[in-house]
A and B are shown apart, each in its own frame.
Chain A
Amino acid sequence: DQQVKQNSPSLSVQEGRISILNCDYTNSMFDYFLWYKKYPAEGPTFLISISSIKDKNEDGRFTVFLNKSAKHLSLHIVPSQPGDSAVYFCAVFPRGTGKLIFGQGTTLQVKP
C-alpha cells in the first residue's frame, strides 16, 4: 500500500526551462511534506518543505505547491540547470511521528 506515489520515473527538460515534479499522497493525516534530492553514490539531501497549513513555499529557484483537496504535491524548478540533474524524492511526515515516508523518486535530467 503505497502512501506516497511519484508516477513519473523520469523527466527530461532543457536548461533554462521549468522542471515540474509531481507527487500524490493518499492520507490526509500527513502534516508536513518535503522534497529531497539525491545524486549517485550520495545520500539524499534536503531541498525544501511545506506545512499542510500552507499551499506554497518558495526558496530561490525552487517552489513547492500543495493541493490538499487533490492530495497532490509538486516541485517547480525555474530556471532548470544541468546541476539539478538528480533523483528527486517527495516525502511525508505522518502526524505525530518523526519518521519519513518516501515516494519512489523521479530522475530529472536537465540538458545543456
Chain B
Amino acid sequence: EAEVAQSPRYKITEKSQAVAFWCDPISGHATLYWYRQILGQGPELLVQFQDESVVDDSQLPKDRFSAERLKGVDSTLKIQPAELGDSAMYLCASSPAGTSGRYEQFFGPGTRLTVL
C-alpha cells in the first residue's frame, strides 16, 4: 500500500541551529501539505502545495520557516534558526485532489522535533 514517507522520524537540535525535514508523498498526488502538531492540539496547516506552487502559506512563520517542492514531487521544510517553541510533530500529508477538492488527506508518520 502506498504511503507518505518522512525523514527523519526524530530530530533533536539546539536553538539557533538549522533543521530540515523531508517528505515524499504518495505517487501521483498533486497536493502536498505540511502541518505542525503541538502536544495536546490538533494539526495546524503550515503550507499547502499544488504541484510545485504554494497555494497557502498564510500560517508559515516566514522569517524562519521555508518550504519547497521544486519538481512537484517531494518536499523539504526548513527551520532556521530553530527556537524552543518550534518543538512539535511535523506532519506531511498528500492528496490526489486539487485545491478545492474534498478528498481525505493521507498522512506520513511525522518528524518529532525537540529544540533544546
Contact = CB atoms under 8 A, between A and B. Distances in A.
A41 B98 CA distance: 28
B95 interface: yes
Interface residues on A, range: 20 to 34
Interface of B: 4, 31, 33, 40-45, 48, 50, 55-56, 91, 93, 95, 97-102, 104-110, 112
A43 B107 contact: yes
Interface stretch (A12-20, A61-69, A76-84, A97-105): A97-105
Contacts, number: 65
B105 A100 contact: yes
A89 B43 contact: yes
A105 B50 CA distance: 27
A98 B95 contact: yes
Contacts of B97: 98
Q: Which residue of A91, A99, A102 has the most chain B CB atoms within 10 A of its CB atom?
A: A99
A43 B33 CA distance: 13
A98 B109 contact: no
Given A42-B109, A45-B107, A46-B104, A97 B99 contact: yes
B41 A105 contact: yes
Given A43-B107, A44-B107, A98 B101 contact: yes
A98 B100 contact: yes
